[in-house]
């Protein structure tokens, strides 16, 4: 707007004022126009109410003259900028005598037709109230952040996605980071992994409005890696629309308190262990003489369990009578507490058992004090002075310990696991159980006798116990099963390392006259609280994992997984059905032919176990049910049945004019049974089969691990005329040079080698070398798993004497094989 336009207003209204002037005079702002000499040309009426100046007296006067030098100099830079042709603004104080206002002003240059500045439009708005509010808000924020920054506890503002927005000095010191480092991290970065889920779940409840705040104890992770225990208090700040803005977290370092609690807990645990281990009976009470605990000796002598007795008056549990008069005696603990002194029993005193019989005792009673010396309870210490005391102590020990190894037994184990779990929960740590089972320990008893088997168990228990650390605890769970309790587990890797150590130690165990034990163990692991929070659950899961470890093979360990429950159920179903399979005639033998490598005529057969239902459908495959049979011991009756069936069938073929040698697989458990040779001899005699028509297939491990006892059984079998074959040769650790020491007639090359003889040069070279060396030792060579003509040709050219596989015939019923024999003449 130009000055000439402003100077020529429209016609006045009836009251003499122009309409624009009326409108401008009523606006709540100081409006004016000043010329190039900074004289007022127009001033609205608001100047009168704000500054106490008559607008008409201002016209033609200079700005500095009318508003004062102090006000003028404050706004001068903005005016100069406007006179230079640029719109400018000013925000600051405006004084009218002693009154002070805060204004925001805009200065708009007015240009003449030539573009020169001919004046300035000014507009100043009173923002005193807004400024006052802003100053108060700023002061409030300063007070808040000063308190925030200097608070003695760690404080942080955290956005809803978990990243730090602001942290105070105490939080930085608590976690070992400077402020800039901490602001680059998230809540997850500084929270102990085991505590993160619980913290995040509570924060989610804040976000969803389920709670307004929460408190918890948790562990954060210091920059150097150690855990910092904190007591955390968290609330959520929302905006005007109710949307989450940020969390306010307060963290108090309670690491020292936790250390004190842990030390106190260790002292209490030590006291409990001591009380449970000493030969004296101990009863504790509170100030009112109500029972608080009984140790095991006290339980045995009074007839009350600690759980039953707790909360009852001491006179109900600890009843004393005079040995001469049989009159009741005052309880000495009452006098000890009343007089704050130690009181001993005088004269001959009897303790009356819950079930009415009496035991002569000696007793000492004393008050228990707190840290300030105040009496807070009492303790009774007493013992049996009769001749039966030592026997009673032994009986109590026997109820809680294994007589063979001296280790805590199953009943004591459950109690100790619960204590370990309580400790782990209190420490917010993991724990673990290792369930250790000796593979095929029955063979040790069978080979060396039960007395030596007991020696082995004692030596093994001693070796494991001495290899454990102070907190770790060993129990004999039963038979050849042991359980190791780990109250504190740093990581699952630590449990795995311990398992590897135990497996190695067990294998290396030797006794002076039993040097060839070669013990192998399987270990199952369950972890607290991941796999359960109760002793029974963790034991069950560790046993399930041990079963899975056995299925993997010797010297294995396995962690429990939820899917194992399904496999355990399936194996249990197989076992139940397998126990009925023999009586229901569901088991049968199929025979896979072996052919001469040159002529391809059938020269033998291998008997293979099959399981079919009444209509001929396969119930389970051998790979599924044979491991179950070996694990549960059913392989013994099943193996004996299979041997009898094979001998009888071979005899029928012999009588029909087919003198066909039959191979029968023998399981390790079956072979190492003390009666195996007797059973074999009986079956041959009963069937009338020529001994030379029977061949037993053994694994490398069976032959190599049995020591002199195995060698003797092999010698007796060979003297009986039965042939011996080494099955799956090349997959174990049997050296060809060892074969000179064993009466083995045949080597069976494993199908893993056969499958690659035509595709892998290294396998072909190894297979050829095995065949050549075996022939030099006058051993027959059978290759199993032959499926292609190329494989057959290679093995025949390499010198293999017999071939077996689907190329020459799948396993088939006896009548089908007899039909083939008849067809081939």
Q: pLDDT band at 470, cuts 50/70/90?
A: confident
Model confidence, pTM = 0.42
Share above pLDDT 90 across residues of the chain, in percent, rounded to a whole number: 37
User: What pLDDT band is residue 152 in, cutting at 50, 70 and 90?
Assistant: confident
Q: Is the pLDDT of residue 376 over 80?
A: yes
Please, which contacts does 574-582 make with residues 24 or more away whose CB atoms are closer than 8 Å?
574/620, 574/624, 574/625, 574/628, 575/628, 575/632, 575/634, 577/619, 577/620, 578/611, 578/625, 578/628, 578/629, 578/632, 578/634, 578/638, 579/634, 581/611, 581/619, 582/637, 582/638, 582/641
Q: Is the pLDDT of residue 499 over 90?
A: yes
712 or 653, greater pLDDT: 653
Q: Which residue has the tokens 């102590």?
A: 393
Mean pLDDT computed over 761-786: 85
Whether the predicted pLDDT of 515 surpasses 90: no
Where residue 593 falls (left for φ over 0; alpha for ψ -120 to 50; beta otherwise) is: beta
| Whether residue 392 has pLDDT greater than 50 | no
Mean pLDDT of 36-55: 84
Dig out the tokens for 618 from the structure: 């396969």
Confidence check: pLDDT of 2 > 50: no
Q: Where is average pLDDT lowest: 182-191, 215-224, 297-306? A: 297-306
Band (300; pLDDT cuts 50, 70, 90): confident
pLDDT at 4 over 60: no
Decide if pLDDT at 17 tops 50. Answer: no
Residue 160: both structure tokens together: 């809803």
Q: What is the mean pLDDT of residues 116-129?
A: 88
Q: How far is 714 from 742, CA to CA, in rounded Å?
A: 7
Lowest mean pLDDT among 500-509, 761-770, 790-799: 761-770
CA distance 543 to 482: 10
Q: Of the spans 52-56, 453-457, 480-484, 583-587, which averages the highest pLDDT?
A: 480-484
Residue 796: predicted pLDDT: 94
Note the pLDDT tens digit of each residue in 214-267: 999 999 999 998 889 999 999 999 988 889 999 999 999 998 888 887 777 677
Taking residues 542-549, what's their average pLDDT?
A: 89
Mean residue pLDDT across the chain: 84
Q: Say yes or no to pLDDT of 13 above 60.
A: no
Q: What percentage of the chain reaches a pLDDT higher than 70?
A: 89
Does residue 792 or residue 703 have the better pLDDT?
Answer: 792
């Amino acid at each position: 707007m130009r000055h000439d336009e402003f100077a020529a207003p429209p016609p006045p209204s009836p009251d003499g004022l122009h309409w624009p002037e009326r409108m401008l005079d009523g606006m709540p702002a100081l409006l004016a126009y000043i010329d190039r000499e900074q004289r007022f040309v127009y001033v609205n009426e608001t100047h009168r109410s704000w500054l106490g100046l008559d607008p008409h007296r201002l016209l033609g006067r200079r700005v500095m003259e009318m508003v004062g030098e102090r006000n003028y100099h404050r706004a001068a830079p903005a005016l100069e900028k406007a006179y230079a042709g640029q719109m400018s603004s000013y925000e600051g104080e405006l004084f009218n005598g002693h009154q002070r206002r805060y204004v925001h002003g805009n200065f708009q240059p007015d240009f003449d037709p030539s573009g020169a500045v001919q004046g300035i439009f000014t507009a100043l708005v009173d923002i005193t109230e807004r400024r006052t509010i802003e100053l108060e808000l700023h002061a409030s924020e300063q007070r808040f952040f000063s308190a925030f920054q200097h608070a003695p506890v760690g404080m942080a503002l955290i956005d809803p996605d978990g990243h730090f927005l602001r942290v105070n000095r105490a939080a930085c010191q608590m976690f070992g980071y400077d402020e800039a480092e901490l602001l680059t991290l998230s809540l997850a970065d500084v929270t102990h992994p085991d505590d993160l889920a619980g913290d995040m779940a509570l924060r989610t409840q804040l976000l969803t409005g389920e709670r307004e705040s929460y408190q918890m104890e948790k562990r954060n992770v210091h920059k150097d890696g150690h855990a910092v225990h904190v007591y955390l208090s968290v609330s959520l700040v929302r905006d005007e629309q109710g949307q989450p803005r940020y969390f306010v977290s307060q963290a108090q370092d309670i690491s020292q308190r936790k250390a004190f609690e842990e030390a106190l807990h260790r002292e209490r645990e030590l006291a409990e262990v001591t009380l449970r281990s000493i030969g004296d009976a101990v009863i504790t009470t509170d100030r009112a003489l109500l029972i608080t605990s009984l140790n095991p000796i006290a339980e045995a002598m009074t007839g009350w369990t600690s759980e039953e007795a707790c909360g009852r008056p001491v006179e109900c549990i600890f009843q004393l009578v005079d040995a001469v008069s049989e009159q009741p005696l005052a309880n000495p603990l009452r006098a000890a507490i009343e007089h704050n002194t130690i009181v001993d029993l005088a004269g001959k005193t009897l303790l009356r058992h819950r079930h009415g019989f009496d035991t002569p005792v000696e007793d000492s009673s004393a008050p228990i004090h707190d840290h300030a010396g105040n009496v807070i309870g009492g303790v009774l210490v007493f013992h049996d002075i009769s001749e039966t005391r030592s026997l009673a102590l032994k009986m109590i020990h026997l109820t809680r310990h294994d007589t063979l190894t001296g280790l805590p037994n199953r009943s004591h184990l459950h109690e100790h696991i619960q204590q370990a779990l309580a400790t782990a929960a209190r420490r917010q740590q993991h724990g673990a159980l290792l369930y250790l089972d000796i593979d095929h320990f029955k063979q040790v008893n069978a080979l060396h006798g039960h007395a030596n088997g007991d020696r082995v168990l004692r030596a093994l228990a001693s070796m494991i116990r001495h290899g454990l650390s102070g907190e770790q605890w060993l129990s004999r769970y039963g038979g050849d099963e042991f359980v190791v309790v780990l109250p504190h587990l740093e990581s699952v890797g630590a449990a795995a390392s311990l398992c590897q150590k135990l497996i190695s130690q067990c294998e290396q165990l030797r006794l002076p006259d039993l040097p060839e034990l070669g013990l192998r163990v399987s270990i199952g692991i369950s972890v607290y609280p991941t796999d359960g929070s109760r002793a029974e659950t963790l034991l069950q899961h560790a046993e399930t994992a041990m079963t899975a470890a056995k299925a993997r093979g010797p010297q294995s360990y396995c962690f429990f997984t939820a899917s194992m429950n399904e496999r355990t159920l399936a194996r249990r179903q197989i076992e139940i059905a397998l126990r009925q399979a023999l009586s229901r005639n569901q088991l049968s033998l199929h025979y896979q032919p072996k052919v001469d490598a040159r002529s391809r005529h059938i020269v033998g057969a291998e008997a293979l176990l099959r399981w079919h239902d009444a209509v001929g459908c396969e119930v389970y495959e051998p790979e599924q049910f044979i491991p179950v049979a070996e694990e549960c011991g059913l392989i013994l009756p099943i193996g004996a049945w299979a041997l009898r069936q094979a001998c009888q069938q071979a005899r029928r073929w012999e009588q029909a004019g087919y003198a066909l040698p039959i191979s029968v697989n023998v399981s390790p458990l079956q072979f190492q049974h003390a009666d195996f040779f007797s059973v074999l001899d009986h079956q041959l005699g009963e069937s009338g089969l020529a001994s030379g028509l029977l061949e037993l297939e053994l694994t490398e491990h069976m032959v190599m691990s049995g020591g002199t006892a195995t060698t003797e059984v092999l010698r007796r079998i060979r003297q009986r005329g039965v042939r011996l074959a080494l099955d799956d040769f090349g997959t174990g650790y049997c050296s060809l040079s060892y074969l000179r020491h064993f009466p083995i007639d045949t080597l069976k090359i494993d199908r893993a080698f056969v499958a690659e003889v035509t595709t892998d040069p290294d396998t072909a070279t190894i297979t050829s070398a095995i065949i050549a060396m075996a022939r030099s030792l006058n051993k027959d060579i059978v290759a199993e798993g032959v499926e292609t003509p190329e494989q057959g040709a290679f093995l025949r050219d390499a010198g293999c004497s017999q071939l077996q596989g689907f190329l020459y015939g799948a396993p088939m019923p006896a009548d089908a094989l007899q039909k083939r024999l008849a067809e081939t003449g």
